Structure 1
Amino acid sequence: MVVTMRDVAQKVGVSKQTVSAVLNGKPGISAATVAKVRAAIAELGYQPNLVATSLRRGFNNTIGLLLGDVTNPYFSQLARGAEDVAIARGYGVMLCNTYDDPARWLMYLQMFVRQQIPGVVGVSEDKARELGLPASCIFQEAPLMDDRRGGYVATAHLLDLGHRRIACITAPATSLPGIERMRGFQTALSDWNVEFDSRLVVEASFDYASGTQAVKQLLQVNHDNPPTAIFVHQDLIAIGAITALKRAGLRVPEDVAMIGYDGLEIASLYDPALSTIIQPVYQMGVHAMAQLLDKLEGKAASELDPLDCTLVVRQSTVADLMQEHCSQPIATGEPWRDWRIETQ
């Protein structure tokens, strides 16, 4: 027997509208209800009827999803958020990895158009039109956080701890978030009257190995005056960087403190646990897909919870910390001081 949304609602004792809201990631539903609905979906094996939905809508029910590399935990979280919304609303997802290759990226976009895919998450509408892609396909970027503010807060945390010789391992030069994080880094140094030193900046790729190589380069170039702290633009790079510091006989954070960016799960499991700027990556995927499907279906934009980052302080910057401390959303105030207030 086919399990319906009504069956899920009856199992939990809520309305169909509540089940739909949970599946679409909409706000206003208690955490307890969300957990009960998801448990009932898993227990009953509920699946939307994609074929029937496609026939009813009169167009292809597959959505394109362009990502850099799904083996990177950042992109896998983003994909999960987007896919959960798509499946809940009766769509399938075609996931394509671009590996930051412009030719591959364009090839996939052209393929989506040829196959009459009605919408694509991972590219802006303006960029799609610039490339001459037809208006019959709707495009939606994942929401961007305030990366300049995030870079500022990460650097301010290190400065607030007393560090002045601070290095930065950056994202690739073509990364817009990386450019903004770098600007935040430089602004924070200026606000603390610390002179920017280009010898303390090394570019890396979005992977573990490039982090180890970047630290080797930093230590070699600055052997006479090494950094006491490093801000790294991505958690995977940071973990590689910590590994390289350990191999060089340096302690983290006693000799060199380290803060990352993204809030990947592995950051909390590493030794020492990595301080980082946490992005709501899963919810970013939810927002992007919900916004695209609302446009596609001609609906008013879904009411979604506002997104912001937080600073989590762990042992990679504060050695004797007994437990991690999360700041308030970083958009306002001085979130780099929140952990001190909590520990007083």
Structure 2
Amino acid sequence: MRAVIAPEPGGPDALVVADLPDPEAGPGEVVIEVVASAVNRADTMQRQGFYPPPQGASDVLGLECSGRISQVGAGVEGFAVGDEVCALLAAGGYAEQVAVPAGQVMPVPSGVDLVTAAAIPEVACTVWSNVFMVAGLQPEETLLVHGGAGGIGNVAIQLAKALGARVLATAGSPEKVAFCESLGADRGIDYREEDFVEVARAEGGVDVILDNMGAKYLDRNVTALATEGRLVVIGMQGGTKGELDLGKLLSKRGAVIATSLRARPTEEKAAICAAVVEHVWPLVAEGRIRTTVHETVPLEEASRAHALMESGTHSGKIVITVAR
């Protein structure tokens, strides 16, 4: 099969299309004939050598995919060859085929085409697990989303609004602020022109923050929290080491939680996927959550997809399509 790997760390041009052995479905697994995958920030970090795949996982990039099941392993129930599905992956999405534990495979949401479905698993599972399962966002609480125009951000905005929360979202241009507000954000914040801390203070503080910046925003995020607020750090675009004022955090009875999805045990990922199918898929079917695809790029041009991701000019997801 054709698959995209990064033999040596580097820029987008480090990605190459290689011929690799076809996968086989082991016990509890299915093999998916991939129609599309999607680009995530973690993919660009892996390409640069900063985020290796979990032990035992493929070196092929790609944390999500959509396609049709071509093999069903022993002990798998509920799936059959030919089923159209999407999946959360530890690795392997940028390829013609991928083997994946059946618990991480989900039906394509009603009303979503198969290519667009590739852009949903990682963001839906990230948002649901972190904002709702970990941080426990409740109706009428306020969520602050950093990077609201990105793939994770735009789903976080819509899902929080659909479940009754108030949403603030940061973005890096007036156009992206308008995009966030078109998705339902109550207040978009152009971080180049405004201080999100001051906006949060005017709101009385925020109850949950979904943060992809890490160290750069740590102190300001804690300042922005309301009493008993929860900061969930899921990315390190702004660095890995920051100073935490424990006195400030204690005064708010706040919590700082750092978490990732990729390295979680298979059983935990299966539980998250099941929760997403139960709670998120009906909202997608009702049209209350939509996935925005900025551009589709052929597998052979994966390096261009990474360059686009790193340019920061996109809104929504970048999808990689697999032609045969």
TM-score (norm 2): 0.35
Q: If each structure's helix is expressed as a fraction of its own residues, which one has the higher value? A: 1
Q: If each structure's strand is expressed as a fraction of its own residues, which one has the higher value? A: 2
TM-score (norm 1): 0.33
Question: Which one has a bigger Cα radius of gyration?
Answer: 1
Larger relative CO (CA 8 A, sep 6+): 1 or 2?
A: 2
